[in-house]
Amino acid sequence: MQHYNITETDAREDKLWKLFHLASEATQGYPAAKEALLYSAAKLAGNSVQLLRIIYDSHYQGLGAFHMMELPYLFGPALLLPNQTYDPRLKTSLQSVLRQVAYTGKLEGTAFSPDTRYGYMELGQSAEWRTGDYDILSMAEFWDKVAQTPCPSGNYGAY
């Protein structure tokens, strides 16, 4: 899998992280990118589209960033992971974005556009929003190609 640099010679732990990244993008990243591309192409109601990507590693059971990990930061730790330590900076960043969207209907910052490969906002270990530098469009193009590739007949269990 060239796009994700997964090779037979990778150490087991490296391979697991790369597969986790691949699975996360296949189930959350790709659908979000496709939706952002559709909305930005349509420019619904004249509004710009903003895409947010959370890559903050909460160090929860070695999972890195994962789907719904932001909920305890928004609504309180007892909601999802009561025994987890929380970074107050991340809580402040997430709540400020939610507040801004609630009051204005949009965020200050980079708008997503099919004309740029990096037009999105990202929240990482610094707990501050910044313009992302991950090539979202290449990832979407990779998964588009995968979706169009037929499965080899009779080899479903060979991988």
With respect to residue 83, please indicate whether it lies within any of the assigned structural domains.
yes
Give yes or no for residue 159 having a pLDDT over 50: no
pLDDT at 17 over 60: yes
- Bridge partner residues of 51 (DSSP): none
Q: Is the dihedral of CA 126, 131, 133, 139 positive or negative?
A: positive
Q: Give the tens place of pLDDT for each residue, 65-85.
A: 666 777 777 776 655 656 666
Residue 23 has φ and ψ, to the nearest 5°, of: -65, -40
Q: What does the pLDDT average to over 123-140?
A: 83
The token pair at 123 is 């929240």
Tell me how far apart the alpha carbons of residues 117 and 83 are, in angstroms, rounded to a whole number. 38
- 48/6: higher pLDDT: 6
In a domain, 153, yes or no: no
Residue 117 dihedral angles phi and psi, to the nearest 5°: -90, -10
Residue 158 lies in a domain: no
Task: Indicate whether 34 pLDDT > 60.
Answer: yes
Tens-place pLDDT, residues 82-108: 666 677 888 888 888 888 888 887 777
**150 in a domain, yes or no?**
no
- Model pLDDT, residue 62: 59
Burial class of 44 by CB neighbour count within 10 A (0 to 12, 13 to 18, 19+): exposed
| Structural domain includes residue 71 | yes
Give residue 135's domain range: 2-145
- Number of structural domains in the chain: 1
Tell me whether residue 57 is in a domain: yes
Q: Is the pLDDT of residue 128 over 60?
A: yes
Mean pLDDT throughout 131-155? 80
SS (H, E, C) 67-128: CCCCHHHHHCHHHCCCCCCCCHHHHHHHHHHHHHHHHHCCCCCCCECCCCCCCCEEECCCCC
**Residue 154, pLDDT score:** 55
CA distance 71 to 153: 42
Q: What is the pLDDT of residue 45?
A: 52
Mean pLDDT of the chain: 76
